[in-house]
Amino acid sequence: MSKIAIHVSYAQSLLWLALFMALISAETNIVELLFIDFVHGNPHRTQENALFMMKASTPLFGVIAFIGTLLVFTLPQFFEAEVVRAFNQIFGDRVGFAALLALPLTAVLTWYCYDYLTRSNLCFAGNCMESYEHGLSLSRYVRTFAVQTPITLFSFLYLDAGLRGVSRKPVLFGALTIAVVAGGIRGYLMARGQFQFL
């Protein structure tokens, strides 16, 4: 497999990942609003307002998640593609697993991109989040490793399907299924956290 084909595969998988992250974010918003306003019955907001919020904020959350995914995972994806390319020159086409071997380093790169390329201290309407301190700790590394592992696995499976010349549809369908389930669960959990304030 050529260097360009490896990088194209990783770029495509990055775009798919960004799309799945946008889907998770959008679905989380919809499920959260459904549980808070329609199932639980929010006395502080009308159902018409909740429907408007679904229509107005869902695409915005999706776009933010898409851009955030590109900011955080572009450099790690490029790193993994370069690792696979380097192993490919030595061992041939059956070295997609090299990205899995590089996962501990990829997780550090992902943490760095998240820590320094995204906003840490957000203020909204004068209400600021507590001050965020940069730096890598064991707990941050473990969380980053846990997030990076399925992303690396998806990219590996996506590349491997291309190397073997088989359809990538099962890989994409599996990732889509996981994204839909994750978005629903995350939305439900966020809604449960809001019930105490109603």
Inside any domain, residue 127: no
CA 175 to chain centre: 11
Instruction: For 50-108, write each residue's pLDDT tens digit.
Output: 888 889 999 999 999 999 999 999 999 999 999 998 888 777 766 667 888 899 999 99
Poorest-pLDDT segment among 32-36, 146-150, 173-177:
32-36
pTM of the model: 0.85
**What is the sign of the dihedral through the CA atoms of 189, 190, 196 and 198?**
negative
Inside any domain, residue 128: no
Inside any domain, residue 122: no
Q: How far is CA 177 from CA 24, 150, 167, 174, 180, in A?
A: 11, 13, 17, 5, 5
Inside any domain, residue 108: yes
Give the domain extent around 153: 3-116+133-197
Inside any domain, residue 121: no
**What is the sign of the dihedral through the CA atoms of 32, 34, 40 and 43?**
positive
Inside any domain, residue 13: yes
Inside any domain, residue 123: no
Three-state DSSP class for 168?
A: coil
Inside any domain, residue 90: yes
Q: How many domains does the chain have?
A: 1
